[in-house]
Amino acid sequence: MAQVEKKAGLLRRSSTPKKPLTEKVVLMYDEIFAVEDPAKDKPRFWEELFLMKANLEYLEAKLESLDGDEVTKIQDNINRLFHHCVRTLSEEHQIKVVNALQTLCALFRGVHQKNKPSSGFDIINMLMGFDKAEARMKDLMESLDALLCGDGSESLKGLCLRMLLCLVTVTDNISQNTLLEYVMINSIFEAILQVLSGTPSRPQHGYDAVVLLALLVNYRKYESVNPYIVKLSIVDDEPTLNGLGMVISQALTEYNRQYKDKEEENQGGFFSAFTNMVGNMFIADAEEKISVQTNEAILLALYEAVHLNRNFIAVLVQSHPEVNIATTPTTPVPVTPTTPLGTTPPSLDLMNSAELPLDPNLQTSNLLITFLKYSSIVMQDTKDEHRLNSARLCLIVLTCIAEDQYANAFLHDDNMNFKVNLHRMPMRHRKKPVDRNSPSRPLVCAVLDLMVEFIVSHMMKDFPMDLYMRCIQVVHKLICYQKKCRVRLSYTWRELWSALINLLKFLLSNETTLLSKHNIFQLALLVVNLFNMFITYGDSFLPTPSSYDALYYEIVRMHQVFDNLYCMVLRVSTNTGQWKEPASKVTQALVNVRAIINHFNPKIESYAAVNHISQLSEDQVLEVVRSNYDTLTLKLQDGLDQFERYSEQPKEVAFFKDLVRSISLNVRRNVSLSALSQDVLLKEFSSIA
């Protein structure tokens, strides 16, 4: 009996669950979160701490869980932890450096999450203490600079950039991140450029470096002098600018590849056959399924480079062999579950692709072509905020390009021809082109094609007025250059004229709805003045006299649209109201268009009556036009070839603030703690004692 009881006792003892062992690093964190100095009786405390793998989740969660009084009690220990992290960065023991960098990341994020309502000064005090903040941050930035510029581990450089991205994006609005004042004072601009300028750093870390640079350039850019803006504007080092362009190009190429892959998937199989059979009635839904999330961070970097640095225009147009992205083998990039497509850096295989010597039989490409293809995708669907922002930013970049003399010279160069296969929005009233191979033409033709495509494909209830204004302005600026330099571009101008007339027709048909939200007269004036440019100066830049004849033919053929527009603007301008003045400007702008219509229509009717023809052919109308130019009287209109140059301030300030906030939130989500896992780093340093 005693033996049974003894056995039962043994069973009871063995069935009692063991308390899980607590990591030593967690116990050490708990000592830091106590009031006493953890190194008081343990002189090797800090050295031992950084030898152990950091537990970022625990540290960040612990910081967030503290209340105000607890934080005040342990502030000295947090200051000590920050100080020892920074000090450890200058040590040679790289595993300790890794743990220090990751601990800093958890500190920045945890303290900010806990103190969202607090001022930046409170956060600085909690992390470092006011009196030592300047020295601590100086030491931190100098250590990061040394790590990024040194010959050390590439993995460590990547971790430095991730930690900096973590630091920059701890606040939703980066301009409210007071810590960035120290990043401005202790610039790491040159270190970022060094990452971009050569291998092996650029293929592995170029993407993070470019995103970091784009964010730093936008820190308080309207309130104070930002040294990153100043320095970026004067960079003239060719390898550095080429490196920046290469990273942007590869990120956009990856986006285009993802879209193309999804598009091809969607076109195959039963669903595609079924939708074709019923007249593409489900095409809109199909298109939504193949959308790929836009990459606004890279687009912002492209904008800043084009807008701030005139030398970057040369990078935009630098030719290289086109990579067949549909068949290029790529290694999948490990991403966190929350990382959306299109926001991840290109795969290393793509980033490492060697440049090939130019071959006359190979199709060449450049960053501008890649950007135009990217734009043709993101500008298709502007229904959600991200796509609308991306489309707007694409048009702003194109505006900057259309104003640049050097860019225009390249765009219009007859000796530099390229094939650019733009994506077109599926629409019920037109078939998808079977042959997607475009002819080789000057690049300006692709820009005009993109603008025409946007004009014809976005006439909808939720009318994107701002995008239309920008689109017409891009066309106007290109034509101003052609007029100024007497460039006779061989382009199918009729497609543009037809698109513009259909746009006017849409504005007239939806006058009441649109006027409740937009000043449609402003857009109508831009369109009418484009026609005035062709009428007044077309003989100096249209390719042939017959092109000029075709312009008059289109105006006469579609005279009803212009007549209706005139009646509408006359009605509005003769009544009192908010649209009186803008409507009267359109009335005045229509004077030459109406003169052409009123001059040629009676002549055409007379020709038809004399020759007993009920309906004239195009050739017959053109014959009437050519034989009656000499009696046509037009009014010389001033300022048609003038335009207001693009300026970010003040018009675009609100847009860029919202855009940068959105990018900051996205970067913060994607620079996750799991993405900072040190397993790879520890393997790399396993040989270090």
Residue with tokens 């008081």: 40
Is residue 352 predicted with pLDDT exceeding 70? no
pLDDT at 60: 87
Burial class (CB in 10 A: 0-12, 13-18, 19+), 6: exposed
Same domain as 139, residue 34: yes
Q: What is the mean pLDDT of residues 281-290?
A: 41
Q: Which tens digits make up the pLDDT trace of 502-518?
A: 999 999 999 999 999 99
Quick check: is 559 in a domain?
yes
| DSSP secondary structure code for residue 558 in this structure | T
Quick check: is 234 in a domain?
yes
- Total domain count for the chain? 3
Same domain as 534, residue 443: no
Instruction: Determine contact, residues 163/176, Cβ cutoff 8 Å.
Output: no
pLDDT at 354: 40
Residue with tokens 């998808």: 432
Quick check: is 509 in a domain?
yes
Quick check: is 210 in a domain?
yes
First to last CA, the chain: 59
Is residue 283 predicted with pLDDT exceeding 50? no
pLDDT at 547: 95
3-class SS at 441?
strand
Count of helices and strands (H, E) across the chain: 34, 4
pLDDT at 152: 81
Is residue 343 predicted with pLDDT exceeding 90? no
Among residues 192, 218, 219, 217, which one has the least CA distance to residue 206? Answer: 192
Quick check: is 335 in a domain?
no
Same domain as 121, residue 258: no
Instruction: Determine contact, residues 390/299, Cβ cutoff 8 Å.
Output: yes
pLDDT at 517: 93
Same domain as 457, residue 371: yes
Among residues 469, 435, 445, 293, which one has the least CA distance to residue 369? Answer: 445
Quick check: is 191 in a domain?
no
pLDDT at 326: 38
Tokens of 581: 């003045």
Instruction: Determine contact, residues 311/235, Cβ cutoff 8 Å.
Output: yes
Determine phi and psi for 311, rounding to 5 degrees.
Answer: -65, -20
Same domain as 666, residue 642: no
Q: Which tens digits make up the pLDDT trace of 432-491?
A: 654 456 788 999 999 999 999 999 999 998 999 999 999 999 999 999 999 999 999 999
Same domain as 670, residue 622: no
Same domain as 593, residue 666: no
Tokens of 532: 């005035």
Quick check: is 327 in a domain?
no
Same domain as 610, residue 498: yes
Q: What is the mean pLDDT of residues 246-250?
A: 95
- Residues 6 or more apart whose CB falls under 8 angstroms from that of 369 comprise 418, 420, 443, 446
Instruction: Determine contact, residues 420/377, Cβ cutoff 8 Å.
Output: no
Tokens of 192: 């970022």
Model pTM score: 0.87
Same domain as 419, residue 398: yes
Q: What is the mean pLDDT of residues 254-275?
A: 72
Same domain as 216, residue 182: no
Is residue 371 predicted with pLDDT exceeding 80? yes
Same domain as 165, residue 132: yes
Segment among 21-25, 386-390, 608-612 with least mean pLDDT: 21-25
The partner residues of 365 in beta bridges, in order of sequence, read 320
The CATH number for 315's domain is 1.25.10
Segment among 6-15, 122-131, 253-262, 358-367 with least mean pLDDT: 6-15
Instruction: Determine contact, residues 397/371, Cβ cutoff 8 Å.
Output: yes
Among residues 521, 506, 514, 625, which one has the least CA distance to residue 566? Answer: 521
Quick check: is 329 in a domain?
no
Segment among 110-124, 273-287, 512-526 with least mean pLDDT: 273-287
Q: Which tens digits make up the pLDDT trace of 295-304?
A: 899 999 999 9
Residue 121: which pLDDT band, with cuts at 50, 70 and 90?
low
Residue 154: which pLDDT band, with cuts at 50, 70 and 90?
confident
Q: What is the maximum span of the chain, computed from C-alpha positions, in angstroms?
A: 132
Q: What is the mean pLDDT of the chain?
A: 84
pLDDT at 67: 76
Segment among 136-145, 377-386, 551-560, 581-590 with least mean pLDDT: 377-386
3-class SS at 455?
helix
Q: Which tens digits make up the pLDDT trace of 163-196?
A: 999 999 999 999 999 999 999 999 999 999 999 9
Q: Which tens digits make up the pLDDT trace of 214-227?
A: 999 999 999 999 99
Q: Which tens digits make up the pLDDT trace of 526-535?
A: 999 999 999 9
pLDDT at 431: 60
Same domain as 37, residue 133: yes
pLDDT at 428: 64
| DSSP secondary structure code for residue 342 in this structure | T
pLDDT at 248: 96
Separation CA 107–CA 98 (nearest Å): 14
* Domain carrying residue 449: 199-221+223-266+293-321+362-428+437-487
